[in-house]
Amino acid sequence: MTGKIIKIVAVILLMSLFSCRNSSVRQGRLTFPVADSIPAAEVEKLSEEAVADIVQNIASPVEIAAILQSMQIPFSAGYLASTQGADRLTTNFRKAVMLGIYGADLGYLNIYGKTGNSVDVLSVIKRLADGLRVGQFFDFETLKRLSSSKSNLDSLLFLSVNSYNQIDNYLRDNDRGSISALMITGVWIEGQYLATQVALSYNDEILRDRIGEQKIILGDLLMLLRPYRGSSEEYGSLYDMMEQISAKYAGVKVSYRLAEPETREKDGRLVVVQNEESIVEMTDAQLTEIATLSKEVRDKLISGN
């Protein structure tokens, strides 16, 4: 009798060991062929501290969308990347870039409460994440349920942004910084596309400032991509395109006006108002050039040509 029990438990144990799809660490350790991880000797490896220094919040999938919503810009599905053909992406390079692009689109959809439309984008994101072996960070069923019910937008936003953060942390912790950099670039280029396309139609100072200030952020994004630019032709090509966008920013001026911050207490919270200010000077012609090139790069990344 005891022997039978042992056998049954052993079978359960074996089954549990081989069915841990949600255990990221175990899955990662067992199955990484690391085709997308680049040996340290082959890259101009940034120190871990330097990468960590530049990586937080370079591109947020929701901040640009929140600005557009606060400007009362109507939602437009025309800005979204098509989900058709996402199944045919074969390289990890393209999967990672598109994961970032769709992540930004998901943020745009969710901020505008267009959750019904986001199920399609979510399905694609899940497939791409699985393809990159980071699908375990997407609680797809919960996200889908929240999207379909429209019941709790805050939870939906939290879960989706948190999933991206977890993927990013996981990739960097597991020497897959090249994939993380691609995903961040995808989020950035889609946010940049969205902001610049809207700015061409709506003259808004806050949005223009946000676009102009990408000059600062783009420098760090290039630093993030630089170690991997020699790793493949497509990586090199991406780096060159991002450098071209950066070159379009050469004439954009960002200056600072110094002032002391003010602190006060409000409703039991401490509030600090920063009076120091960054000031962006960007002409209409510069904005148009940046918008045109950003769209071109974004379209190339989506088409893969």
Partner 1 sequence: MKKRLLILTLAVAFLPLMASGQPATDDLVSSCVLAAGENTTYLKDFRIQLPKAPPDAAAPVYKANMYLMKNMKYRFGVCDSPGSVGELFITIYDQGKKIISSYNSSTDKKYSSVDFICNKTGLYTLWYSFIGGEQGSGVGVVCMIR
Site residues (CB under 8 A) for partner 1? Answer: 2-3, 5-6, 9-10, 12-13, 16, 52-54, 56-58, 60, 62-63, 66-67, 70, 111, 154, 157-158, 161-162, 165, 206, 209-210, 213, 216-217, 220, 254, 256, 261, 263, 266, 268-278
Rounded to the nearest 10 degrees, how much is the dihedral formed by the CA atoms of 86, 90, 96, 98? -20
Closest to partner 1 by CB, 187 vs 302, is 187
Least spacing, CB of residue 92 vs partner 1, in Å: 25
Least spacing, CB of residue 179 vs partner 1, in Å: 19
Least spacing, CB of residue 38 vs partner 1, in Å: 24
41 Cβ contact partners less than 8 Å away, ≥ 6 residues apart: none
Least spacing, CB of residue 88 vs partner 1, in Å: 33
Q: Of the candidates 140, 143, 157, which has an alpha carbon nearest to the alpha carbon of residue 63?
A: 157
Closest to partner 1 by CB, 63 vs 296, is 63
Closest to partner 1 by CB, 41 vs 272, is 272
Closest to partner 1 by CB, 44 vs 154, is 154
- Phi first, then psi: what are they for 282, rounded to 5°? -145, 125
Least spacing, CB of residue 77 vs partner 1, in Å: 21
Closest to partner 1 by CB, 247 vs 279, is 279
Least spacing, CB of residue 6 vs partner 1, in Å: 6
Least spacing, CB of residue 272 vs partner 1, in Å: 4
Instruction: Compute and round to an integer the Cα radius of gyration of the chain.
Output: 22
Closest to partner 1 by CB, 33 vs 268, is 268
Q: Of the candidates 188, 177, 172, 301, which has an alpha carbon nearest to the alpha carbon of residue 227?
A: 177
- Residue 82 DSSP one-character state: P
Q: What token pair was written down for 99?
A: 């994961």
Q: What token pair was written down for 136?
A: 């375990």
CA distance 104 to 98: 10
CB 263 within 8 A of CB 290: no
Least spacing, CB of residue 304 vs partner 1, in Å: 29
Closest to partner 1 by CB, 67 vs 124, is 67
How many CB atoms are located within 10 Å of the residue 88 CB? 8
Closest to partner 1 by CB, 88 vs 269, is 269
CA distance 17 to 99: 29
Q: What token pair was written down for 282?
A: 């960007």
- The identity of residue 229, as a single letter, is R
C-alpha distances in Å from residue 24, one per residue of 21, 28, 262: 7, 6, 44
234 Cβ contact partners less than 8 Å away, ≥ 6 residues apart: 91, 93, 94
